[in-house]
């Protein structure tokens, strides 16, 4: 490693905390993980992060004086002043996590963002949307999350709801209630959980042959994606539905924010071009007003998006 200054990106999750050391030019130098300690409502979590950063710097032979700051993404709404009212998965209430981390790291600057927003910033900076000043990330995992980047900065919104794409209403005929309390949310059809539920509905509606039936209760979203790509007609029908509602949601965002790029990430995004082509088809259908609009790409940073976005918080001028 050179003698340039060092930044730290921290991505706090419910199971693990991912950390990365970056050069002041934004190059990833080292990454590692520590377990998320849930003891006493995660009372030890921020001290654990600080200790891990100090320990890693020491083992790498990097003087602490070279540390210029840390950025951190957390799974909950973050106010402009760094206040976190609640992080359900971390049992946090009424905290200022960045301020706490700064105090444990000798007062170095520390900045905070919602984890999905941080991932969006990372993908816009060095990932699928590399170089874009305006980007929207849609993460398809257990749920559907997102983040909005405008002019190179996260847009959390006045109330921290910016990027809550998963709870956009897209489907009028949905009878089951979403976890948010609504009906017909994008998350209910485009998340990994939603894809499996949609597949089971399709299977129950017909006796038509499908290899999805062979999976029984063990059917996963990955199975549905893989079988659809391989030509299973019912699996493909499910993914056509997923593509339709994702395309609809993206069209609404395009006609509201008009970003340079939409980045699709999360575990479901491993379906790659098969999924992207279906989304593009319906995005085109629902946005006929112009072909000159934001492109749709797949995420490329994987699990590293969060640490890239977190460190970007302290490297705004790159």
pLDDT digits (tens, 9 = 90+) for 36-53: 999 998 999 999 999 999
223 or 315: which carries more pLDDT confidence? 223
What is the fold, at CATH topology level, of the domain defined by 6-121+304-312? Nucleotidyltransferase; domain 5 (3.30.420)
In the predicted structure, residue 132 carries a pLDDT above the cut 80: yes
Cα 189 to Cα 249: distance, rounded to the nearest angstrom: 12
Q: What distances in angstroms separate CA 227 from CA 138, 175, 187, 233, 281, one per listed residue?
A: 23, 27, 21, 9, 20
Residue boundaries of the structural domains of the chain: 6-121+304-312, 132-299
Tokens 């849609």: give the residue: 138
Residue 1: the pLDDT is: 44
Where residue 3 falls among pLDDT bands split at 50, 70, 90? low
Measure the CA angle with vertex 93, ends 91 and 99; round to 5°: 110
CATH code reported for the domain at 132-299: 3.30.420.40
pLDDT of residue 164: 87
- Per DSSP, 231 falls in state T
Which segments of 75-126 does DSSP mark as H helices, in order? Answer: 97-104, 115-126
Q: Hunting for tokens 């992207």 — which residue is that? A: 276
- Predicted structure pTM score: 0.85
Domains 6-121+304-312 and 132-299 share a fold: yes
Lowest mean pLDDT among 66-70, 247-251, 314-318: 314-318
């Amino acid at each position: 490693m050179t003698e340039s200054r060092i930044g730290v990106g921290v991505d706090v999750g419910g199971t693990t905390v991912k950390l990365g050391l970056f050069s002041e030019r934004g190059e990833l130098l080292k990454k590692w993980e520590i377990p998320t300690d849930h003891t006493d409502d995660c009372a030890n979590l921020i001290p654990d992060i600080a200790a891990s950063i100090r320990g890693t710097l020491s083992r790498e032979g990097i003087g602490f004086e070279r540390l210029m700051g840390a950025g951190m993404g957390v799974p909950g709404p973050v106010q402009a002043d760094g206040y976190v009212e609640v992080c359900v998965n971390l049992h946090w209430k009424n905290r200022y996590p960045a301020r706490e981390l700064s105090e444990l790291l000798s007062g170095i600057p520390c900045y905070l963002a919602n984890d999905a927003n941080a991932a969006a910033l990372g993908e816009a900076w060095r990932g699928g949307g590399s170089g874009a000043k305006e980007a929207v990330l849609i993460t398809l995992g257990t749920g559907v999350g997102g983040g909005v980047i405008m002019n190179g900065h996260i847009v959390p919104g006045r109330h921290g709801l910016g990027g809550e794409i998963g709870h956009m209403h897209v489907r009028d005929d949905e009878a089951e209630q979403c976890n948010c309390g609504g009906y017909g949310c994008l998350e209910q059809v485009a998340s990994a959980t939603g894809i499996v539920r949609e597949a089971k509905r399709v299977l129950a509606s017909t006796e038509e042959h499908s290899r999805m039936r062979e999976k029984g209760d063990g059917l996963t979203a990955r199975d549905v994606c893989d079988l659809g790509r391989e030509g299973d007609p019912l699996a493909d029908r499910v993914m056509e539905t997923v593509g339709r509602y994702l395309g609809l949601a993206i069209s609404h965002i395009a006609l509201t924010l008009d970003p340079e790029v939409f980045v699709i990430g999360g575990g479901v995004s491993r379906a790659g071009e098969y999924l992207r082509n279906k989304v593009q088809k319906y995005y085109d259908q629902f946005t006929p007003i112009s072909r000159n609009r934001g492109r749709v790409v797949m995420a490329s940073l994987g699990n590293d998006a969060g640490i890239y976005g977190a460190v970007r918080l302290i490297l705004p001028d790159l």
